[in-house]
Structure 1
């Protein structure tokens, strides 16, 4: 059968790329998001898809029926379920869109397949319970997962909650949240990928990517620093480059042994209270830099054909990518959903 997809909370189109990656028959009919800048990125990459700049609460069963879709892919806002968002859960108005979808699902008989992604932590929320209640009432079967791209050989840590729901039985057991995909579907593991496979050439790295002296002096010990041979990076968030700690990894072009030697010298100078200028020169010799938006897009499995419009600022690029999904992981899950 052909799958006709409605993409909700569509952002920059990660679910659309995942659907393409899954290589199942069908197409994305329409996408909906309230962020006009994200919609501009989506339309730039998918000019033939209808992109609706609307609040999700404007959706009705009649509108969904008119679109003639049988699949919904969605990644609702995660902030209600994060520490930074104060974990307000259903009391956060950013949960309203998902609650509206929960109310619609029992009324949308034509929707046979659903994939939903959210942050780890969603699985213990009231919103999660409401979502499963809506699936049950609408006659869906579902399977839940918490997965990380590193399980698929991708050198990026981004643990996320996923729910697959459909109106026919699955061929594997559920009843609890799975921490791996069933063995019969483990065809999507990428072997041997390192950071070096994803880096841009040095001549494409602009001076704005290198850490400023102030950050090197004051914040470098708080950072997760990786080298080309690394097989893991931190989760990149929308605050990458804006905050130093816990928002994503920093890249060092030296090998790990060379890097460790420099850091040992810096530590010695700190203990001996030598001049700050000398410590700074040593830190600058590391050539530490932020990952570029293109490199982060690659870590999140976006194809090289993905582009930002020229008017998109670097700050916006990092925010959009930090709010998006890992395309490869979701592509594998769409294959399972459609099997």
Structure 2
């Protein structure tokens, strides 16, 4: 039975992925400094010990006393993104992860590691430090760039993953030097969005007139769509590039709206009235949870605001992708 340390635990995406994988083991300790995320985590995993503590305060002896053999983690991604100004190792938000990298060779009980981060991490100095440390500590590893669409999920969320293990003689997986961009199994086409849609959605999710002024930048999805854009923590706050919106109308109707809209000034009263017909709405937190493959029984506590839900989801992971990688890691 594996004993797991879940670092940067957030709302528990890694924990859900472990359960999804059906591997034998338990999360011994989860660690995160985000108090709102911790509240959501505890609501869904009340039996798991959760520490609201800076990772840099842990010593190698403390971690060894936990008697864990597996580390699952998703360190802060902002240092490796455009919005984070690509500060890489010079960003203070990398400090806890670089601390772990330095600590790794002292953690003799750790046999398995899974790490997730944003696309762009693979080009970073921190990535090089991480891989060098894995090699120095006797780990065999494999890097991936994977999107949930590769595992049948109708959502784009391209991310970097690295799986590593010390007991390489028993690893059936054939690793490659290059970054792998697909998994061994063929999962077929992504499912349709209608499988994750809520039946009754309150009007508060409808786009208001101010938002409809910018309907030209929206990514619109339908019940038969097999895709949706990546949801970020700014979803519903900004429109461009933060996630898709939904309409019960069909594609032909939407296409006609855009053709007519081209005859009006963008953002004009007639332009807005035209798009009102489509009843465009945001995906609900429940629907985004499903698109990120969280289980049906996962939920946000009632006191968590809609804005907080989206921010937490934007920082979370796709459960299905990680579940599949865990199966490979422990094969």
What's the TM-score, normalizing by structure 2? 0.96
Partner SS for 1:163:
strand
Partner SS for 1:238:
coil
| CA apart distance, 1:168 | 2.2
The aligned counterpart of 1:278 is 270
The aligned counterpart of 1:131 is 130
Aligned match for 1:258, one of 253, 260, 270:
253
The aligned counterpart of 2:198 is 200
- Unaligned 5+ runs, structure 2: none
Farther off after superposition, 53-62 or 6-15: 53-62
The aligned counterpart of 2:228 is 233
The aligned counterpart of 2:322 is 330
Structure-2 separation of matches of 1:55 and 1:5: 18
| CA apart distance, 1:278 | 2.9
- Unaligned 5+ runs, structure 1: none
Structure-2 separation of matches of 1:286 and 1:237: 24
Alignment pair present for 1:293 and 2:285: yes
The aligned counterpart of 1:180 is 182
RMSD: 1.4
Deviations, residues 314-338 of structure 1 (Å, cap 9, x unaligned): 1100000000000000000001111
CA contact (8 A) 1:76 1:98 kept: yes
What's the TM-score, normalizing by structure 1? 0.94
Farther off after superposition, 117-126 or 276-285: 276-285
Question: How do residues 59-78 of structure 1 correspond to structure 2 at under 5 angstroms?
Answer: 59-78=58-77
CA contact (8 A) 1:154 1:190 kept: no
Deviations, residues 241-288 of structure 1 (Å, cap 9, x unaligned): 1111001011111011111112212222349xxx93333221100100
Deviations, residues 138-192 of structure 1 (Å, cap 9, x unaligned): 11100010000011111100000000000022430321111112x3xx17x2655
Partner SS for 1:176:
coil
Q: Check 1:122–1:247 CA distance in 2 against 1; reply closer, same or farther (3 A cut).
A: same
Structure-2 separation of matches of 1:309 and 1:214: 30
| CA apart distance, 1:228 | 1.3
CA contact (8 A) 2:151 2:190 kept: no
| CA apart distance, 1:98 | 0.7
